[in-house]
A and B are shown apart, each in its own frame.
Chain A
Amino acid sequence: DAGITQSPRHKVTETGTPVTLRCHQTENHRYMYWYRQDPGHGLRLIHYSYGVKDTDKGEVSDGYSVSRSKTEDFLLTLESATSSQTSVYFCAITREVMNTEAFFGQGTRLTVV
């Protein structure tokens, strides 16, 4: 257990509304990630962070923004949710970055109607 908590675990929202997902870690790891999981695509990286206020885009960042104002929290925001953003979102952390494993949260199932 890497002490990762995602909230909420489930959310249904309407098209056009803003949504924020939270990832909280208890071990003060520097590197955090947001992935989305869709059938036929595996997991795809949305954004990642390599320190407080240090973030960068991943493969599928359009329509998403992130913030990391403190080590333990990494927020993912959908500024104006669309149906194509219906997905399962996973937060992950790594304890180092050289060839090491990622630890994943339980996921947030988001449905945009």
Chain B
Amino acid sequence: GDSVTQMEGPVTLSEEAFLTINCTYTATGYPSLFWYVQYPGEGLQLLLKATKADDKGSNKGFEATYRKETTSFHLEKGSVQVSDSAVYFCALSVSPNAGGTSYGKLTFGQGTILTVHP
């Protein structure tokens, strides 16, 4: 079946440090890849996405590139801020064939807690 594996957490960094959160996946069809972020007490919100191989998603200084050859979608940010402290989830949605529908169903990784200290 489809699955997502994220690096073990939690991750603790100082402000302005470089961030990488690893994400790898297995998929039986045509995956689209997402990073969601959850701030304390809130629901998830989309951070960025990539829908085909070699696409790069970016938002708020975060980036991730869809690497089909390594089945990876690692999240990076060059300089983190205290306000980036949150839980980050890698997720995928798989269509059974090109142009088919996944019905929007998402498979999530276990989440990585990021804490950034001043």
CB pair B32–A99 under 8 Å, yes or no, is yes
CB pair A104–B44 under 8 Å, yes or no, is yes
The size bracket of the interface on A is 20 to 34
Assuming the contacts A97-B103, A102-B106, asked whether A42 and B89 have C-beta atoms less than 8 A apart, the reply is yes
Q: Which A87-113 residues have a C-beta within 8 angstroms of B?
A: 90, 92, 94, 96-107
Q: Mark A5-49, 1 if CB is under 8 A from B, else 0.
A: 000000000000000000000000001010100001111110010
Interface of A is mostly: strand
Listed residue (A42, A90, A92, A100) with the most chain B CB atoms within 10 angstroms of its CB: A42
Which residue in B32, B34, B42 is a CB contact (below 8 Å) of A106? Answer: B42
Complex Cα distance, B4 from A70, in Å, reads: 33
CB pair A42–B104 under 8 Å, yes or no, is no
Q: Name 26 interchain pairs, CB-CB below 8 A, sorted by A.
A: A35-B108, A42-B4, A42-B110, A43-B89, A43-B106, A43-B108, A44-B108, A45-B105, A50-B103, A56-B103, A90-B43, A92-B44, A96-B104, A97-B101, A97-B102, A98-B95, A99-B32, A99-B51, A100-B104, A101-B46, A102-B44, A103-B45, A104-B43, A105-B43, A106-B41, A106-B42
